[in-house]
A and B are shown apart, each in its own frame.
Chain A
Amino acid sequence: MNSRVTLAQVAVGLAIAAFLVVFLIAPVLTVIYVAFADGAGGFTLSHFISFFQITLMRESFLNSLYVGGMTVLVTSLIGVPLAYFTVRFRFRGAAIIQTLGVLPLIMPAFVGASAMQLLFGRSGSVNLILMDAFNVSIPLMDGLNGVIFVESLHYFPFILLNLSVALANIDTAMEEAAQNLGASGWRLFRRVVFPLALPGYIAGASLVFIKVFDDLGTPLILNVTNMLAPQAYLRVTSIGIDDPIGYVICVLLVLFSVAAMAGSSWFLKGRDFATLQRGGAAGLRRQLTPWQSVIAYSLVVFLLLLVLSPHIGLLLLSLSKVWSYSVLPDDYTLANYATILNDSTRMMVNTVIYCGGAALLDVILGTAIAYLVLRTRLPGRQWLDHMSTVALAMPGVVLGIGYLRSFRDVELPFGMGPLLGSSLIFILAYSVRRLPYALRSCNAALAQVHLSMEEAAQNLGASRGRTIMRVVVPMMMGGMLAGFVTSFITAAGEISETILLTSRESLAPMSYGVYLYMQSIAGRGPGAALGVLAVILVGLGTYLSNRLVVARQAAMERR
């Protein structure tokens, strides 16, 4: 490795650091500062005391904790058995279950939430049938229940996927040893398998908690406001950007996010379950007994229906003319799609620009940071990595409010108006929060490029820049593309920052459009149609990029 630190490296490093400070660190610090500022430049805890004196705030705080905790519980009840079945048993449904993992990625929770009311609400399809047959109804969608239900169906794959990976990595010799010693069934699972897979479970569970704790869109669509994120939003929009209570809530959101993440990584560090042999060879999957198969298959079919219900509901809603107090819509029509294509092309274009721009920025920054960290000796290079990782723990609401507060008087050059009223703010906000994901992909991609390739290029006379452009970047392409796509699709479904930052309709991306249209008086049809289009757009992107990545990897291997 060339160990000399060049001027170019310093310049790039400083530029990235400046970007992160201005668009990530400073807005967050501003939020924290306001929460503790007494208005005269001093420090005060009085806003926090006020916060805890307001019953509604205490209640919102407890509700958020309750919803987060309950969601972790429900997602575990769904995710743990599914993961166990798919990894440990010979079972045809396994492939289907593992594909379910991508569904939540392609449809944000709040989009599905609006359709869920028509399926599971007070007068939803399910309750109408139940009322008719047994005269009972299940309050699945009432208040906090609705939030827990919707979020659980949305986020259980986080547990499923993390746990599946962890289970697959367990040395099966451990299980065999336990079996030889006479353990089986529940005891085997509880005493051996689950503890070994615990790190994966904890990683998934803490992620679910954070996501639910910070979510703004789902509670708002479901009309639940006595939770922290909606309260922060309402305080800041209807009382004003200077209302300190909104900032107190932000600080709490940050604290809990950081705590959940730190807790989970502390837990992972504390337990080293490294096993000698990496696990579950196919032959070791157990056979289900006929009865077990029946149970397993019914469970899978039931869960499949449940997990697909937001998608089915949304599709039905988008095709319905009138859907009112009936199990299924009265008439079907394509008019909602016509309305959307007529009115909302601007929103689709905006989504592509914002998310494309943000993803591009992420990949560029991610590649640069990865290169500086892995390939240079630039002093303080690790800090770039650490700084961008801060974004992982930053809830969208917090960053949104931070942007509104920090950039309220910032004008763009050349008379392009205020920064907050431009599309640039969306690109920045989206990219900053997704940088850690892109960075991870780029890091992994660069780590896989062997140094000797670069040395060979330089021996042949290529300059450093040329080596990067002609050798490193092409070889990293797969990882960069993966990073791009992750950034793009998560940004397309983003709603917390979006609601806060959308100051006018022409700036609105599709996610805001769905939120707006769902509040229409002539029915939710157009909103659902826009939601379906968004799902298709994102799903198609995911599929194509997967194909691309796979094709590229195959090409690399042939070489």
Chain B
Amino acid sequence: MKPSILLLSLATSLPLAAWAQQTVTIVTSFPKELTAAYQQAFQKRNPGTKVEILNKATAAGVAYVRELRAGERPDVFWASAPDAFEVLAKDGLLTKYDPGIKGIPNKIGNYPINDPQGFYLGQALAGYGIMWNTRYLKANKLPEPREWADLTKAVYFSHVATSSPSRSGTTHLTMETILQGEGWAKGWEQILRIAGNSAAITERSFGVPDGVSNGQYGIGLVIDFLGLAPKNSGFPVEFVYPSVTAIVPANIGLINGAKNAELGRKFIHFSLSPEGQELLLDKAISRLPVLPETYKKAPADWPNPYTGKIRAKVNFDSDLAESRYYVVSSLFDQSITFRHKELMAAAKAIIDAEKKVAAKPNAQAAKQIAEAKALAFSPVVDEAKVKDQEFLKIFRDTKRSAETTKRMTALEEHWSNEAKSNYARAVALANEAAKIAN
């Protein structure tokens, strides 16, 4: 081997590590299109600086920051889910910063755009909604959905896709929005029925828009820009805000113990400046700016939450969301993500039985179907429990001693088994009902 190759590779590899000084490091769950646009614009604006992107799913991002020592942490946390920021702030991992940008309102609906305590700031606005592939719907002769409740209908069985709250911060928000809008029991019923209609529970929130865009799935639950960006990029998809939606800010915050806090502040300031806000209007990004004046530069059909056109019934309560963050995520995983096959089987059996009973009404069969539905579509943790502070504490203990790990695993195992047996009983009941009605 030529020594020159060795020298070359050493020469090129070593300085990389030494670059750290003029670098601002950003932990984000946002897609490449968005981060690349800000990276390039910021570097152009500030010659000699470098924007370093750590692309992580929100939950993994929180875990990552938590594990680093002060002084070694990245500078900026940038993600959709306000509850992730609540978690970070509570752990003392964020620090206050006011960029002093004028013109950003205090609230969107009833929701404060910036953290009232000042730990993090709204950088864009986001609503949650439904996207669908127009070709898929046409080919499968499906009506266009408008509301979450539409997705619980039998026609959509195996055509829907969603992600899971433990993997995607935005999915967590969507689920939490439904839970807050409909109440714990009714909300879970809706979620379980939608999940029962889902062909897949995807690994990251991107899995949903990606699958809908390329036609693997017909309909997906997504945060608005994940539906609008492919639409604006030419894919045959549509997006709608249902009435049970909340407009909440996607946030940006300065990490406490950052390596380069100064440049971190500069980046946050840039992201909120008119120039930074305008980047959101790029077709491949398609986000809603937080600065009202930026909407003047947007295309005519750009959704503007400040005009009240998006009906957002739910006033999102982030304290409530934060208090049960792990419970909702874990409950979703144990009863939906990991038991999806069984849940789908239950949904299918119920749909089939309902069809038969509709053709040939029978009181006994109808009663059994109702029972089956109650079994399959009720959460295994009731509302009283989720208000119990002692119970919530188990999940908020971040230290994870062997004892809490054991307790948590036992609980999760219990939920998982209960869900599984509920689904199995629902299938049995529904099959029986179908037999009676036959």
Q: How far, in whole Å, are A325 and B417 apart by their CA atoms in the complex?
A: 37
B233:A522 contact, CB within 8 angstroms: yes
* Beta-carbon contact of A417 and B338 below 8 Å: no
Distance in angstroms from B403 CB to nearest chain A CB is: 11
* Complex interface: stretch among B10-18, B148-156, B356-364: B10-18
B 405-419 binary contact with A (CB < 8 Å = 1; else 0): 110011011001100
Query: Is A238 within 8 A of B166, CB to CB?
Result: yes
> Among A220, A325, A516, which residue has its beta carbon within 8 angstroms of that of B139?
A325
B171 at the interface (CB under 8 A from A): no
- Chain A interface size, as a band, is 35 or more
Query: Which one, B55, B402, B413, contacts A53 given CB within 8 A?
Result: B413
Q: Of all chain A residues, which has the CB nearest B333?
A: A56
B133 surroundings in chain A (CB, below 8 A): 324-325
- Residue pair B33, A118 in contact (C-beta under 8 Å): no
In the complex the two chains form, is A343's CB within 8 Å of B229's CB? no
Chain A CB within 8 A of B144 CB: no
Chain A residues contacting B234 (CB-CB under 8 Å) are 321-322
For the complex formed, measure the closest distance between the CB of A33 and the CB atoms of chain B, giving whole angstroms: 16
Instruction: Given A50-B405, A223-B202, verify A360-B20 contact (CB < 8 Å).
Output: no
Does any Cβ of B come within 8 Å of A353's Cβ? yes
Closest residue on chain A to residue B28 by CB atoms: A505
Q: If the complex has contacts A324-B215, A324-B235, A360-B6, are A223 and B63 also in contact, measured as CB distance less than 8 A?
A: no
* Chain A hits for B355, CB < 8 A: none
A524 at the interface (CB under 8 A from B): yes
Q: Mark B195-237, 1 if CB is under 8 A from A, else 0.
A: 0000110111011011001111100000001100110011111
| Closest beta carbon of chain A to B290's beta carbon, Å | 20
State whether B413 touches A54 (Cβ < 8 A). Answer: yes
Of chain A, the residue at the smallest CB distance from B164 is: A225
Taking a contact as CB atoms under 8 Å apart, the answer to whether B236 and A324 are in contact is yes
The reply to whether the CB of A422 lies closer than 8 angstroms to some CB of chain B is yes
Are B18 and A416 in contact, CB atoms less than 8 angstroms apart? yes
Given A517-B32, A521-B210, A523-B233, does the pair A422, B52 have CB atoms closer than 8 Å?
no
CB distance from B91 to the nearest CB of A (A): 13
CB of A421 closer than 8 Å to a CB of B? yes
Query: Assuming A223-B202, A417-B18, is B9 touching A238 (CB within 8 A)?
Result: no
| Chain B residues within an 8 Å CB radius of A378 | none
| Inter-chain contact B215/A505, CB cutoff 8 Å | no
The smallest beta-carbon distance between B420 and chain A, in angstroms, is 8
Tell me if B17 and A421 are in contact (CB < 8 A). yes
Q: How large is the interface on B (under 10, 10 to 19, 20 to 34, 35 or more residues)?
A: 35 or more
Q: Contact between B338 and A59 (Cβ–Cβ < 8 Å)?
A: yes
Per the 8 Å Cβ criterion, residues 279-297 of A in contact with B are: none
Q: How far is the CB of B283 from chain A (nearest CB, A)?
A: 8
Residue of A nearest to B138 (CB): A325
Measured between alpha carbons, how far is A236 from B63 in the docked complex, in Å?
9
Interfacial chain B residues near A480, Cβ < 8 Å: 1
Minimum C-beta distance from A362 to chain B (A): 11
**Chain B residues closer than 8 Å to A516, beta-carbon distance:** 32, 55
Task: Say whether A55 contacts B9, CB under 8 Å.
Answer: no
Docked CA distance A192–B167 (Å): 53
Tell me the bound Cα distance from A325 to B20 in angstroms: 45
Asked if A504 CB lies within 8 Å of chain B CBs, one says yes
Q: How many interface contacts (CB-CB < 8 Å) are there between A and B? A: 177
Confirm or deny: B136 has a beta carbon within 8 angstroms of a beta carbon on chain A. yes
Would you call B338 and A415 a contact (CB within 8 A)?
no
What 1/0 flags go to A494-531 for Cβ under 8 Å of B?
00000000011111000000001101111110100000
Highest count of chain A CB atoms <10 Å: which of B52, B214, B410, B412: B214
Cβ-defined partner of A520 (8 Å) among B5, B33, B50, B338: B33
Instruction: Verify A323–B214 contact, CB threshold 8 A.
Output: yes
CB interface residues, A 9-29, toward B, < 8 Å: none
Question: Least Cβ distance of A486 to chain B in Å?
Answer: 14
> Is B54 in contact with A521, judged by CB distance below 8 angstroms?
no
B235 touching A322 by the CB < 8 A rule? yes
A310 contacts chain B at the CB level, 8 A cutoff: no
Q: Are B204 and A353 in contact (CB under 8 A)?
A: no
* In the complex, chain A residues whose CB is within 8 Å of the CB of B14: 416
In contact, A56 and B206 (Cβ under 8 angstroms): no
Minimum C-beta distance from B385 to chain A (A): 21
**A505 & B13 in contact (Cβ 8 Å cutoff):** no
What's the minimum C-beta distance from B237 to chain A, rounded to whole angstroms?
Answer: 8
Among the listed A38, A118, A415, which residue makes an inter-chain contact with B214, where contact means beta carbons less than 8 Å apart?
A118
Is B397 close to A, CB under 8 A? no
Chain A nearest CB, measured from B382 CB (Å): 22
Contact at B5–A356, with CB atoms within 8 Å? yes
From B135, B199, B216, B417, contact of A55 by CB (8 A): B417
Asked whether, in the complex, the Cβ of A521 is within 8 Å of the Cβ of B226, the reply is yes
- Is B13 a contact of A424 with CB atoms below 8 Å? yes
**Does the CB pair B236–A50 fall under 8 Å?**
no
CA distance A118 to B213 in the complex (A): 11
Question: Which residues does chain B contribute within 8 Å of A118, judged by CB atoms?
Answer: 214
At the interface, yes or no: B31 with Cβ under 8 Å from chain A?
yes
Q: In this assembly, does B381 line the interface, its C-beta being within 8 Å of a C-beta of chain A?
A: no
Is there a chain B Cβ closer than 8 Å to A169's Cβ? no
Contact of B59 with A by CB under 8 A: yes
Per the bound structure, the CA–CA distance linking A517 and B217 in Å amounts to 20
Closest to B420 in A: A55
| Docked-complex contact A241 and B60, CB < 8 angstroms | no
Interface residues of A in 191-248 (CB under 8 A from B): 220, 223, 225-226, 237-244
Question: How close is A427's CB to chain B, nearest CB, in angstroms?
Answer: 7
Is B67 engaged at the interface, CB distance under 8 Å to the other chain?
Answer: yes
Say yes or no: B72 contacts A418, CB within 8 Å. yes
Among residues of A, the one whose C-beta sits closest to the C-beta of B2 is A360
Interface string of A87-128 (1 = CB under 8 A from B): 000000000000000000000000000000110011110000
- Within the complex, the shortest CB–CB distance from B27 to chain A, in Å, comes to 9
Residue interface mask A312-329, B partner, CB < 8 A = 1: 000000000111111000
Pair B413/A505 contact, Cβ less than 8 Å: no
Q: How far is the CA of A117 from the CA of B226 in the complex (A)?
A: 20
Residue numbers in A under 8 Å from B32 (CB-CB): 343, 516-517, 519-520, 526
Residue B13 contacts which of A39, A414, A423, A520 (CB distance < 8 angstroms)? A423
Q: Is the CB of B216 within 8 A of A122?
A: yes
Q: Is B284 close to A, CB under 8 A?
A: yes
In the complex, B320 has a CB within 8 A of chain A: no
Residues of B with C-beta under 8 A to A414? 18
Chain A contacts of B72 at CB under 8 A? 418
B271 in the interface (beta carbon within 8 A): no
Which interface residue of A225, A238, A349, A521 has the most chain B CB atoms within 10 A? A521
Do A415 and B216 contact each other (CB < 8 Å), given the known contacts A55-B416, A322-B235, A521-B230?
no
| Smallest CB-CB A-B distances: 10 pairs | A325-B215, A416-B17, A422-B17, A325-B135, A123-B215, A505-B53, A519-B206, A522-B233, A522-B284, A237-B60
Offer 18 A-B interface pairs, CB within 8 angstroms, sorted by A.
A50-B409, A54-B413, A55-B416, A56-B416, A122-B216, A238-B63, A238-B167, A240-B67, A322-B234, A324-B135, A324-B215, A324-B235, A324-B237, A325-B215, A343-B32, A357-B9, A423-B17, A521-B210
With A519-B207, A521-B209 known, 5 other A-B pairs at CB within 8 A are A237-B56, A343-B36, A423-B16, A521-B225, A521-B230
